[in-house]
Chains A and B, each alone.
Chain A
Amino acid sequence: MSAKNLFLPAAFVRAPLQNGVGRYVCQLQRITFKFCKSHGGSRGLRDFIEQNLVEFAKENPGVVVYMKPRRHRSPVIVGEYLNGDRVWMSVHNKTHDEITKWVEVMRTQQGDVSSSRLRKYQYTDHPSIQGPWTPFTFKIPELNTAQLPDPKFGANNRLPQSATEELRLMFEKQKLNVKEEELKVAE
């Protein structure tokens, strides 16, 4: 199965413009709390609004906070991000603590992260210092000028050699007028 067929689009870990190195730009732009004033499912969100929302807005002046009361509909948090993503999250029947945590997630994440499948848990722009492998790395330079086919490059040079044979070759190499290529190896 190829990755194209999966439902979630594949992505790598990334930080927009090296966010957090030197300065931090909050990626969350707008957050909307939709809730009902009377329904029990919105109880947790109402508690959050009563106890934490003012403090949240004060601490994050870069985030626009909207509230939208609506009758007898389940509570929802919608976040809009700097890169255009829109994250919709149902908080029906969620408790006050859970909602506090989810709002923190919405504030700190950088876009619709959970809708993509991470191909790897690490990423680098420079995977290799010496450069990727090519067919020309570790190539014998002699091959550039060789006239192929040549038994020098084609013959098996890893056959086992007897000690007698090795001694004979060492003796032959000591002779002055013998070139190394002309040495006869035993068959």
Chain B
Amino acid sequence: MSAAKRVQQWATFARTWHVFDCKWQDPYESAHVIKKYLMGLHKPIYHPMNDCGDVVVCINSKDIALRGNEWRKRAYFHHTGYPGGASWTLAWELHNKDPTMIIKKAVYRSMTGNLQRRHTMQRLFIYPEDKVPEDVMQNVTNQIRQIRLVPTRLDHIPEEEVKNFPKIMDYPEDYVLK
């Protein structure tokens, strides 16, 4: 292989690092987006037998948003292998123990069950907050678009702006808020 062709090969199969902000995102919906980048499905050169998957760095995984009452109702099953070793952990319990676990399991589950996904998962980095080690962040060259719009919370808007927002009426002094 000539030098030019070798460089062409490196360029085509270069791994890209993507960052994905999990803030206010449904982990089960975004898992299907992250999966595409991890497996390289978004590339025109994709083939199940070539190694063209990318690296995805997930940040803010503690700020994920589950639908409806899923925090209370969704259970994660584990069995130790011993009799009576089954345990069901609710989503909110699991999230309190490890805020990266829900998104990790969601991505793992979104890939069809072959052994390759163990290796594909090695390319997924999840961080509970937006603090990412420098040696990871310096590789990132692309950002994956979120699925949902991140709303701004009222207590995050500066007080000045809230005060100056046009109002129809003011509550009377002696009004008791329920």
B105 at the interface (CB under 8 A from A): no
For A151, list chain B residues within 8 Å (CB). Answer: 21, 150
A154 touches which of B16, B49, B143 (Cβ 8 Å): B143
Tell whether, in the assembled complex, residue B16 and residue A135 are in contact, meaning their CB atoms are under 8 Å apart.
Answer: yes
For A158, list chain B residues within 8 Å (CB). Answer: 145
Tell whether, in the assembled complex, residue A143 and residue B142 are in contact, meaning their CB atoms are under 8 Å apart.
Answer: yes
Known A-B contacts A133-B45, A187-B149, A187-B152; A154 and B14 likewise in contact (beta carbons under 8 Å): no
CB distance from B174 to the nearest CB of A (A): 34
Tell whether, in the assembled complex, residue B144 and residue A154 are in contact, meaning their CB atoms are under 8 Å apart.
Answer: yes
B21 touches which of A131, A135, A149, A185 (Cβ 8 Å): A149
Tell whether, in the assembled complex, residue A157 and residue B19 are in contact, meaning their CB atoms are under 8 Å apart.
Answer: no
Task: Select from chain B the residue with minimum beta-carbon distance to A2.
Answer: B49
Known A-B contacts A143-B142, A148-B143; A155 and B45 likewise in contact (beta carbons under 8 Å): no
A159 at the interface (CB under 8 A from B): yes
For B148, list chain A residues within 8 Å (CB). Answer: 156
Given the complex of chains A and B, what is the CA–CA distance between A157 and B145 in angstroms?
8
Given the complex of chains A and B, what is the CA–CA distance between A134 and B15 in angstroms?
10
Interface of A is mostly: loop
Tell whether, in the assembled complex, residue B14 and residue A134 are in contact, meaning their CB atoms are under 8 Å apart.
Answer: yes
Given the complex of chains A and B, what is the CA–CA distance between A91 and B71 in angstroms?
78
Q: Mark B145-171, 1 if CB is under 8 A from A, else 0.
A: 111111110000000000000000000
Given the complex of chains A and B, what is the CA–CA distance between A149 and B63 in angstroms?
15
A20 at the interface (CB under 8 A from B): no
**B8, B49, B142, B151: residue with the most chain A Cβ atoms closer than 10 Å:** B142
A7 at the interface (CB under 8 A from B): no
CB distance from A4 to the nearest CB of B (A): 11
Tell whether, in the assembled complex, residue A149 and residue B11 are in contact, meaning their CB atoms are under 8 Å apart.
Answer: no
For A2, list chain B residues within 8 Å (CB). Answer: 49
B47 at the interface (CB under 8 A from A): no
Q: Mark A136-150, 1 if CB is under 8 A from B, else 0.
A: 100100010000111
Tell whether, in the assembled complex, residue B143 and residue A150 are in contact, meaning their CB atoms are under 8 Å apart.
Answer: yes
Tell whether, in the assembled complex, residue B149 and residue A155 are in contact, meaning their CB atoms are under 8 Å apart.
Answer: yes
Q: Can you list 17 residue pairs at the A/B interface with Cβ under 8 Å?
A: A132-B45, A134-B11, A134-B12, A136-B11, A143-B141, A148-B137, A148-B140, A148-B142, A148-B143, A149-B59, A149-B130, A153-B145, A154-B19, A154-B21, A155-B145, A156-B146, A156-B147
B residues with CB within 8 A of A:
8, 11-12, 14, 16, 19-21, 43-45, 49, 59, 130, 137, 140-152
